[in-house]
Structure 1
Amino acid sequence: MSIFVVNTSVTKDKLSEALLSEATKELTKVMSKPAQFIAVHFHADQIIMIGGNADPSAICYFQSIEKLSCDEIKKYSKMLCGLVHKQLGISPERIYINFVDMDACNVACNNTTFG
């Protein structure tokens, strides 16, 4: 199970179902996981300031029950920053992603945990 959450200052009208579908598709490819184990959530119209200015930006969280190595995180970061840049026009230096390893027994779906 992996969850990608994007908090962005971009307006809601710039978000589309196609964006969420592409994010899901790209994550299934890079992680070799079925789409049923990928969740994507975008929050638009957030008030965000990075480096003292309010240019378009995103603060993201990528949580996974997979153990994430530094090499995997670099690969995922490149793909996710590229996707957000391409779809929302946010410069990669204004995209922050926090990667979090989750314990499978702390994540539940369909009346049970993954652990």
Structure 2
Amino acid sequence: MPALDLKTNVLVADPKAFSLEFSKYAAETLKKPEAYISVNYNYSELLTFNSSFEPAIILTIHSLDNINPKANEEYSKKFFAFFKEKLGVSDERGYITFIDPGRANIGYKSTTFEALWK
């Protein structure tokens, strides 16, 4: 169920194409089926980082089961490489927040993942 919310001050030429490319990359990186991936690309020209409007990102990843310190370090490396290549954002120009909300705290199909996994 990974849900990725990307905020950036980098306007891409084709946000739909970028979002689909980011979805595919996220599925590969997080090792989850793309059918479960949700991506939100949010352009904000007013996003600052370190008192400047240079290219920057804030990424929040909500995911069940695969969020842990060792994995997060690898995910961070891969996602920042993607942002450097696709958006021109270096790894010192943003944050990635990893959140595992727990199965009981995610609603899906009119219930929760905890109820679905019983």
The TM-score, its normalising length taken from structure 1, stands at 0.87
Q: Percent identity?
A: 25
Structure 2: gaps (5+ residues): none
**Is residue 9–residue 46 contact of structure 1 (8 Å, CA) maintained in 2?**
yes
The TM-score, its normalising length taken from structure 2, stands at 0.85
| Matched position secondary structure for 1:29 | helix
Q: CA deviation at 1:99?
A: 1.0
Write the mapping of 1:23-102 to structure 2, written as runs, cut at 5 A: 23-102=22-101
| Matched position secondary structure for 1:49 | coil
* Whole-Å separation in 2 of the counterparts to 1:47 and 1:101: 28
Q: Which runs of 4+ in 1 moved over 4 A?
A: none
Residue type of the partner of 1:6?
L
* Whole-Å separation in 1 of the counterparts to 2:41 and 2:33: 20
> Which residue of structure 2 lines up, in the alignment, with residue 112 of structure 1?
111
Residue type of the partner of 2:91?
P
| Matched position secondary structure for 1:59 | strand
Go from structure 1 to structure 2 and tell me whether the alpha carbon gap of 1:60 and 1:15 turns closer, same or farther (over 3 Å shift).
farther
* Whole-Å separation in 2 of the counterparts to 1:15 and 1:46: 16
**Is residue 7–residue 46 contact of structure 1 (8 Å, CA) maintained in 2?**
no
Please report the RMSD computed on the Cα atoms of aligned residues, expressed in angstroms.
1.6
Q: CA deviation at 1:27?
A: 2.2
* Whole-Å separation in 2 of the counterparts to 1:88 and 1:40: 16
* Whole-Å separation in 2 of the counterparts to 1:32 and 1:101: 15
Structure 1: gaps (5+ residues): none
Q: CA deviation at 1:114?
A: 0.9
Number of residue-to-residue matches in the alignment: 114
**Is residue 9–residue 47 contact of structure 1 (8 Å, CA) maintained in 2?**
yes
